[in-house]
Chain A
Amino acid sequence: MAVLNEEQSMLRDAAKSWTQEKSPVTAFRKMRDSGVEVGFDAAAWTEMAEMGWAGVIIPEEFGGSDFGYLSMGLILEELGRTLTASPLLASGLGAASALVLGGTSAQKSEWLPKIAEGTAIGALAVDEGAHHAPEKVALAATKSGAGYSLSGTKTFVLEGLAANVLIVSARTSGKPGDKDGITLFVVPADAKGISRKRLALADSRGGANITFDKVEVGADAVLGEADKGYPVLEKVLDRARAGISAEMLGAAVQAFETTLDYLKVRVQFGQVIGSFQALQHRAAKMFTDLELARSAVEAALTAIDNDSPDVPELVSLAKAKMGDVFHVVSNEMVQMHGGIGMTDAHDAGFYLKRARACEAAYGSQSYHRDRYARIQGY
C-alpha cells in the first residue's frame, strides 16, 4: 500500500467501510439476479455520488474535489474487492478525464458539475471491434453545415446504456488505423440518430453497442482540436487503464484472501488443506505476484498525479502485469475451492468472469506488452 496522505487515508477508509457494509458481493449478486439493464444498482450509485466519489479527479471550480488519480484508484480498489458495479470508472474517471483534459470551458461547465454530483453519467465510446484499437476508427464525422454528421458503430461501450453523454472518437480524415484524422466529440446520448443495444455479458456489467446514424452535432461538440484528437484520447485512455487496473488489483486481492480463508478451514485427509505444501507454494507465489502488481498499479497512478512523462509506459506495465495476475488468482480461486468453486452459488465465478472483462477493456496484456515495447523503442 502506497504511503497515503490524510485525505487519501480517509477516502480509502470510507470506501472500505461503505463497500463492506453497503455493497458486499451479495449486493452484486442481487443486482445480477434482478436483471437490471444498466448493470448497476442506481440507489448504490446515488450513495457513492453523495460521498463525492464521482468528483475525485474533477477540479473544485466544477464541483469536484480534485484529489487526484491515486485517490480515485483507492476507491476503485475497494469497489473491486466486492465487485461493486457502478459507472464510477466510465464516468467519474473516463469521461471526466476527457472533459478535464480536452474540453472547452462550455463543455466543462455543462457536464463536469453533473458528472461530479452523479446526476449525469458519461462514457467513452472508443472501440469498434473485438479488440481495443483506439486508432482503428471508422465511425465517420463528415462536415454538415456548421457542424458534423456522425455515422458508424461503437462497440463494448462501458456503461453505454446508462450514459447521458458520450465521448466519441470519430474519423474526420484519413483511414482506420491512422492516428491523424481522429476527432473527439461530446455527444448527448439522447441525440437524434443514436440507438443503443444492451450487451448481455458474462460479467453482468453494463456494456452496450451504440450505432450512430447521421447524428448531427455542432462545431462546439468537438473536444480539443479537429483531426488531432488522438493524443488527448491516449491520455484519457491511460487514465482509464490505470483506473481499471486499480479495480483489478482490489478484485484480485479479495479473490486471493477469500481463497486463503478457505485453505484455513476446508478439511480433507484429517487436516486443513492449507497445510499441504502443493497449495502453500502456489499461495506464496500469488502473494508475491500481487505485491509486484500493487507496486506497478500504484506507480502508474502516482505518475499520472505527477504528470510524469513516463505515464504511458508505466500504465501499460501496470495493466499488463495486473491482467496476468488477476487471471492466475481468479483461476486458482476456482481450483482451490474445488467443486464449490464451480457453482453459481459461490462468488469465485464472479471474479473469474470479471478478470476476462477487465482484460478486454482498454487493451489486453498482449496489447500493453506490445505498447510497452514500442514506447521503449523495440
Chain B
Amino acid sequence: MADFGGSDLEALRSEARAWIEANFPAELKGRPNPMMREERSTPSAAQEAWRKAMGDKGWGVPTWPAQYGGGGLSASEGRVIQQELGRAGAYNPIGGMGVMMFGPTLLEYGTEAQKQEHIPKIVKGEVQWCQGFSEPGAGSDLAALSTKCEDKGDHFQINGQKIWTSGAQFADWCFCLVRTDTSKKHEGISFVLFTMHQPGVEVRPIPLIAGNSPFCETFFTDARAEKKDLVGPLNGGWTIAKRLLQHERGGLSGGGGGFGGGRGLVELAKHYVGVDDQGRIADPDLRTRITALEIEGRSFQQTAVRAMLESKGNSGPSAATSIMKNAGTQWMQARHEITLEIMGHQGLGWEGEDFTAEELGAVRGWLGGKAFTIYGGSQEVQSNIISKRILGLPDLTQHT
C-alpha cells in the first residue's frame, strides 16, 4: 500500500497524539467506555465534552467520508488514530449500531438526502440506533418476518413486534425490516427508518439467564415512518438487509479483539488447580484440553492475521473471512465453559462477597456468551452460508 508506513502516517500520528492530549479529559484516562455499560447513567460533563470533541473531529469513524463529518482517512490512517487512542488510554466515544452496521449500509444504499440527514448525527454520537430485524416467528429464517407496513399516502404505518432488539431501551431511531407485500417472501420486504420517540413504539427489556437485559421486545402499534425514510426501493429491503448482516457478522467474530480481559486459562488453572513438581497443571486431562483450546484460539488469531494480509495482497477477497464468525464464537464459548470448570465451586457465584469480581464475571460471561452462536446469524445459518456461497452446495433454505 502506498501510504503504509510512510512519513505521512508519522505526521498524522504526531497530529493525533497532540490533539488527543489537548482534548481528552485526563479524568477519563483508562476508564471504560460508558456506552459499553448496560445501565447507562447520565454522562458526566467530561464524558460529554470528549464525545463532542471526537464527534466534531470525525475521528470516531475515521474512515467515513469527510463530506458527512467522518474522518475521511484511509484504513491505515484510521489504524493510527486507533493506536493513538489506545496509547493515551482513551476510549472511542462514538459507537453503537449506527457505527457498526447502519452507517456503512446507508453510505452504500442511501440517497444523498438520507446520508446528509442521518450520517452526521451518527458521526457526532448524537443519535443511537437499534436494529428491528428478528421477530418471534422470524429468527434464523429472518425473511419470514411479518411486521406490517402500510402506505397511508403521506406516510407509512407500522404494526407488529420485533424481538432481540439490542439496546432498544436506549435507542433514538430504529432501522427496521417490514413486510410491504404479503404475496412474496424475500421480495416483499422493505427497509425503513423511524424515530423510537413516538407513542406507537413500546419497549420491554428481556431479562436473560445471565441476569442482565441487553435485548428488548419492541412493539409497534400504528407507529409512523416518513416516506423519505424508506431506504432503497419498496420491496427491495432484503438485499440491503443481507449487506447489513455482513457488517454485523464481521463485528461479532471477535476477529479484531475479544481476547483481552481477565487472566488467561493457564494462569487460572495454575491458581485454582495447582501444578505438579514439573510446573505442569496438576490435572493432566484438564491440561490437555486447555492446550487444545489454546491451540484452537491461536490458529483463529493466525487466521485473522492471514485474512487481513490476504485482503491487502493481490489474491482477492480471502475465503478465510467466511469462517470467522463460527470459529470465533465457538472458541469463545468453549473458553467460557472451561473457565468455570477450572474455577470449580468458585465458578458458581451469582453475587456477594464470597466471590471475586473475576469469578462473578466468569459466571455472567459464560451465560451471556450463549448469545454468541445465536445472534447475528446462528452458527447453523453461518454453516448454510459457507455451504452455499463458498462450497457451492445446493441451497435448500433459500437466500441465506
Q: Give A260 to B386 CA distance when docked, in angstroms.
A: 13
A288 in complex: contacting residue of B281, B287, B386, CB < 8 Å: B386
Q: A295-B302, A378-B275, A378-B287 are in contact. Are A372 and B386 (CB under 8 A)?
A: no
Q: How far is the CB of B34 from chain A (nearest CB, A)?
A: 36
Q: Mark B374-400, 1 if CB is under 8 A from A, else 0.
A: 000000101110110011111010000
Count contacts on B: residues with CB < 8 A to the other chain. 45
List CB contacts (< 8 Å) of B251-305 with chain A: 266, 269-270, 275, 279-281, 287-288, 290-292, 294-296, 298-300, 302-303, 305
Give the complex CA separation of A373 and B295 in angstroms.
Answer: 10
Q: How far, in angstroms, from A232 to B109 measured CA to CA in the complex?
A: 60
Check if B280 sits within 8 Å of A374, measured CB to CB.
yes
Contact B391 A292 (CB under 8 A): no
Residues on A with C-beta less than 8 A from B18 are: none
Determine the distance from Cα of A72 to Cα of B233 in the docked complex, in whole angstroms.
54
B266, B302, B319, B326, most chain A CB atoms within 10 A = B302
Q: Tell me the bound Cα distance from A235 to B275 in angstroms.
A: 29
**Chain B residues near A299 (CB, 8 Å)?**
302, 305-306
A378–B280 touching, CB < 8 Å: yes
Q: Determine the chain A residues whose CB is within 8 A of the CB of B295 once the complex forms.
A: 296, 317, 320-321, 369, 372
Contacts of A2 in B (CB 8 A): 306, 309-310
Partner of B387, one of A284, A317, A372, A374: A284
Nearest CB of chain A from residue B140's CB, rounded to whole Å: 12
Chain A interface size range: 35 or more
A34 within 8 A of B: no
Q: What chain A residues lie within 8 Å of B288 (beta carbons)?
A: 366, 369-370
In the assembled complex, the CB of A277 is this many whole angstroms from the nearest CB of chain B, namely 7
Is the Cβ of A1 less than 8 Å from the Cβ of B269? Answer: no
A299 to B305 alpha-carbon distance, docked (Å):
10
Assembly CA distance A123 to B129 (angstroms): 65
Interface status of A184 (Cβ within 8 A of chain B): no
Q: Which of B293-349 contact A (CB under 8 A)?
A: 294-296, 298-300, 302-303, 305-306, 309-310, 312-315, 319-320, 323, 326-327
Pairwise interchain contact B269-A378, C-beta atoms closer than 8 A: yes
Does A268 touch B at the CB level, under 8 Å? no
Taking a contact as CB atoms under 8 Å apart, the answer to whether B302 and A274 are in contact is no
Do the beta carbons of B287 and A280 come within 8 Å of each other?
no
How many whole Å from B170's CB to the nearest CB in chain A?
35
Residues of chain B within 8 A of A374, CB atoms compared: 280
* Also in contact, A1 and B327, with CB within 8 A (given A275-B393, A287-B391, A374-B280): no
Chain A residues, CB < 8 A from B394: 264, 271-272, 274-275
* Shortest Cβ distance from B392 into A: residue: A264
Q: Which residues of A contact B270 (CB under 8 A)?
A: 378
A280 to B389, CA, bound (A): 12
With both beta carbons as reference points, the residue of chain B lying nearest to A322 in the complex is identified as B299
Q: CA separation between A288 and B327, bound complex, in Å?
A: 7
B269: chain A residues at CB < 8 Å are 378
Q: Out of A1, A277, A373, which one reaches B396, CB within 8 Å?
A: A277
Chain A residues with CB under 8 Å of B296's CB are: 292, 321
Our pick among B281, B319, B392 for the contact of A291 (Cβ within 8 Å) is B319
Contacting pair A281 B306 (CB below 8 A) = no
Kindly state the separation between the CA atoms of A32 and B291 in the bound complex, as whole angstroms. Answer: 38
Cα–Cα, bound, A2→B269 (Å): 35
Contact A284 B280 (CB under 8 A): no
Are B287 and A284 in touch, CB under 8 angstroms?
no
For residue A345, CB closer than 8 A to chain B, the reply is no
Q: Contacts A281-B383, A284-B383 given; indicate if A295 touches B305 (C-beta within 8 A).
A: yes
Q: Give a binary string over B41-67; 1 marks a CB under 8 Å from any A CB, 0 the rest.
A: 000000000000000000000000000
Minimum CB–CB distance from A221 to chain B (whole Å) comes to 35
Q: In the complex, what's the smallest C-beta–C-beta distance from A320 to chain B, in angstroms?
A: 6
- Proximity string of chain A (276-295) to chain B, C-beta cutoff 8 Å, 1 when within and 0 when not: 01001101110110011111
Contact of A296 among B275, B299, B387 (CB under 8 A): B299
Within A319-378, which residues are at the interface with B (CB < 8 Å)? 320-321, 366, 369-370, 372-374, 376-378
B391 CB contact (under 8 Å) in A283, A293, A320: A283
A247 interface residue (CB < 8 Å to B) = no
Asked whether A260 and B391 contact (CB < 8 A) given A293-B299, A373-B287, the answer is yes
Q: Is the CB of B287 within 8 A of A264?
A: no
Decide: A373 near B393, CB < 8 A? Known: A291-B320, A292-B296: no
With both beta carbons as reference points, the residue of chain B lying nearest to A298 in the complex is identified as B306
| Minimal Cβ-Cβ distance residue in A for B313 | A3
- Residues from chain B with a CB closer than 8 A to the CB of A321 are 295-296, 299
CB neighbours of B280 from chain A (8 A): 373-374, 378
> A280 — which chain B residues lie within 8 A by C-beta?
383-384, 387, 391, 393
Nearest 3 CB-CB pairs, A to B?
A3-B313, A295-B302, A280-B387
List 13 A-B residue pairs with CB atoms under 8 Å apart, sorted by A's residue number.
A1-B310, A2-B309, A260-B392, A271-B394, A277-B396, A292-B299, A292-B300, A294-B303, A295-B299, A299-B302, A317-B295, A373-B280, A373-B294
